[in-house]
Amino acid sequence: MVAEQPRLPPGSASPRARLRWLLIVVAVMALLTAGWPLLNAAVADNQNLAAGSIRIGPGGRNSADIRIGAGWTLRPAQSDPRQDYVLHRGAVAVSIGYVSLADAEQTAGAWSGLRRVFRVTNPGVRLGRPSAVTNGQGLPGLSAIATGARVSGTVTDFVGPSGAYAIRIVVLAPRDAKLLTAATSLLLIRALRFPAASR
């Protein structure tokens, strides 16, 4: 006597079919859960910027504007208009930072303090001796060549007219792009404007 296989009611799926559908649903959920944020981060982390000015700082007399040309992209996840912009154009990476200075003593030692911060945030990249530069308004700043095993560029600091803050522009690119980093640095230095100095 042969045991009879249990019959499923009409319209119901076998346990194997239900398990297969369950696995498909779980796989799609896992793909969306893990893949969507990665895709979103890859797409959203590069925002094209139109030519024009970007403002950094809290506003008013304690802020600065930098005029940029076409072709720059902004990294929104790494940028905060009150403190730091991270921009890219081709192989060139630019960081424009706002640093609050507490008092006149800190203002006088701004370069050495910002230099120490740069060493910590950019290990393996050496800074040369600073030299005097001026922005498009004729205000003085300091700039130094940055050299690492794979990158080179410049670091430039300007203390704002109020003495309460400094703007730091870091331009880095692969070592074989020294002329490009120098040209980019010069353009950004000349494009830096302090609204408080124009009054």
pLDDT tens sequence across 101-120: 876 666 666 777 777 888 88
Residues 30, 107 within the same domain? no
Output the CA–CA distances (angstroms, integers) from residue 182 to 41, 91, 98, 129, in the order listed. 31, 13, 21, 16
Judge whether 65 lies within some domain: yes
**What local confidence, expressed as pLDDT, does residue 5 receive?**
56
**What local confidence, expressed as pLDDT, does residue 194 receive?**
92
Tokens of 162: 């109020």
Q: Residue 140: what residue type?
A: P
Residues 90, 38 within the same domain? no
- Contact between 14 and 6 under an 8 Å Cβ cutoff? The reply is no
Print the SS3 string covering 23-91: HHHHHHHHHHHHHHHHHHHHHHCCEECCCEEEEEEEECCEEEEEEECCCCEECHHHCECCCEEEEEECC
Q: How far apart are CA 155 and CA 157, in angstroms?
A: 7
Q: How far apart are CA 188 and CA 199, in angstroms?
A: 22
**What local confidence, expressed as pLDDT, does residue 141 receive?**
92
Give the range of the structural domain holding residue 51, as residue numbers without chain letter: 47-198
Residues 32, 52 within the same domain? no
Residues 175, 143 within the same domain? yes
Judge whether 69 lies within some domain: yes
Weakly modelled stretches of the chain, pLDDT under 70: 1-13, 31-32, 34-45, 103-109, 197-199
State the total domains in the chain: 2
- Contact between 165 and 62 under an 8 Å Cβ cutoff? The reply is yes
Judge whether 1 lies within some domain: no
Residues 63, 156 within the same domain? yes
- Contact between 133 and 140 under an 8 Å Cβ cutoff? The reply is yes
- Contact between 51 and 69 under an 8 Å Cβ cutoff? The reply is yes
DSSP 8-state code for residue 103: S
**What local confidence, expressed as pLDDT, does residue 167 receive?**
92
pLDDT tens sequence across 16-38: 777 777 778 777 777 667 665 55
